[in-house]
Copies of this chain bind each other. A is one copy, B any other.
């Protein structure tokens, strides 16, 4: 074997799902693609290929011992997009092998849907459609006794990574004050995006629209509980976009059921949601089955971002599009692998 090998082991993704033909063609130019997508690549196959492998696309286990077998390896692309404990991140760091995720591909579609849901909650769009179909719609002013305008409403963001920044840009024409709580970021970053750094309590108590865009770590599970929902103003629009585990779900459902807040929910503690889950008949809520991120364009963006960075790396240049795993941070993240998106 002398051709450089590109080991592609992408499950639960498949190459067709994440690469348009033109992108796939660019990948083929970088080396000999060896692909396993009907099942995960066997250990034997992986071990056989590693000595000539230059790029790895997939979630193949890569402990230190395997890295030792891969002296030509230049980068690992996690195309499922959540960093998992399948890789020895410290060993990769020592070898200058970046472990990369194009996970920001999902940020744009999620933010777009979140804006639509925020307008919907403010203006009562889905609810009014239900009323109309049920024959008891109200017209004009009578239909606006509980509505408010997103324009100018104080907005709060919990989490200000790719998702929060995408949403922030989409709402610029609405001229909101945007308060941000993100304990992982310096105030400078938040202010550069024309937002105000704020404590969690400030965000909760002063915002009319609250977006949750927070990753789960070992430290913040369930951090939005009864106390936090009580802090919110009546009729706050609360949008849970990511991740279900940061919220105390029963506390949220209570706040919705009582009419204290209205909400949009895209992520649930158990998915699929059980058939008899009472959330299905809850008022004051827009239900979305973990569907805001998984658009066709987002999947293709995973592939095009990964291939573009692979091209840079093969030319000796630093990657620009994917996020690089930080050994210290990767160990804090509590993502579970996707099975349905």
Q: Which residues of A contact B (CB under 8 A)?
A: 17, 90, 93-94, 96, 108-109, 112-113, 115-120, 122-126, 128-133, 135, 137-144, 147-151, 169-175, 184-189, 194, 271-273, 275, 280-281, 286-297, 299, 304-305, 308-309, 311-312, 316-318, 320-321, 326-329, 338, 340-341
Q: Given A126-B129, A129-B287, do A149 and B116 touch, yes or no (CB 8 Å)?
A: no
Q: In the complex, which of the residues A108, A130, A135, A141 has the most CB atoms of chain B within 10 Å of its own CB atom? A: A141
Chain B residue numbers with a CB within 8 Å of A340 are 139-142
Q: In the complex, which of the residues A109, A290, A291, A305 has the most CB atoms of chain B within 10 Å of its own CB atom? A: A291
- On whether the beta carbons of B96 and A144 are closer than 8 Å, the reply is no
Chain B residue numbers with a CB within 8 Å of A295 are 123, 144, 147-149
| Interface secondary structure of A, over-half rule | helix
- On whether the beta carbons of A128 and B281 are closer than 8 Å, the reply is no
How far, in angstroms, from A311 to B77 measured CA to CA in the complex?
30
How far, in angstroms, from A194 to B151 measured CA to CA in the complex?
13
A94-B94, A318-B328 known; 15 other A-B pairs, CB under 8 Å?
A: A93-B96, A113-B119, A116-B120, A125-B286, A128-B291, A129-B287, A131-B289, A132-B273, A137-B272, A144-B295, A144-B296, A148-B295, A149-B295, A186-B308, A316-B328
Please give the distance in Å from A90's CB to the nearest CB on chain B.
8
- On whether the beta carbons of B139 and A291 are closer than 8 Å, the reply is yes
- On whether the beta carbons of A125 and B139 are closer than 8 Å, the reply is no
- On whether the beta carbons of A140 and B187 are closer than 8 Å, the reply is no
- On whether the beta carbons of A318 and B308 are closer than 8 Å, the reply is no
- On whether the beta carbons of A139 and B290 are closer than 8 Å, the reply is yes
Query: Which residue from B119, B140, B286, B287 sits with its C-beta under 8 Å from A290?
Result: B140
Stoichiometry, as copies per complex, reads 4
How far, in angstroms, from A93 to B326 measured CA to CA in the complex?
11
Q: In the complex, which of the residues A94, A170, A194 has the most CB atoms of chain B within 10 Å of its own CB atom? A: A170
- On whether the beta carbons of B116 and A151 are closer than 8 Å, the reply is no
Please give the distance in Å from A27's CB to the nearest CB on chain B.
14
Chain B residue numbers with a CB within 8 Å of A188 are 304-305, 308, 320-321
How far, in angstroms, from A151 to B305 measured CA to CA in the complex?
18
Please give the distance in Å from A128's CB to the nearest CB on chain B.
6
Chain B residue numbers with a CB within 8 Å of A296 are 144, 147
Residue of B nearest to A289 (CB): B137
How far, in angstroms, from A132 to B289 measured CA to CA in the complex?
7
Q: Given A94-B94, A139-B340, A173-B169, do A125 and B128 touch, yes or no (CB 8 Å)?
A: no
Residue of B nearest to A271 (CB): B139
- On whether the beta carbons of A329 and B321 are closer than 8 Å, the reply is no
- On whether the beta carbons of B289 and A186 are closer than 8 Å, the reply is no
How far, in angstroms, from A272 to B240 measured CA to CA in the complex?
35
Residue of B nearest to A272 (CB): B139
Q: In the complex, which of the residues A140, A147, A328 has the most CB atoms of chain B within 10 Å of its own CB atom? A: A140
- On whether the beta carbons of B287 and A137 are closer than 8 Å, the reply is yes
Residue of B nearest to A316 (CB): B328
- On whether the beta carbons of B132 and A287 are closer than 8 Å, the reply is yes
Chain B residue numbers with a CB within 8 Å of A321 are 186, 188-189
Q: Given A126-B125, A149-B109, A281-B133, do A289 and B143 touch, yes or no (CB 8 Å)?
A: yes
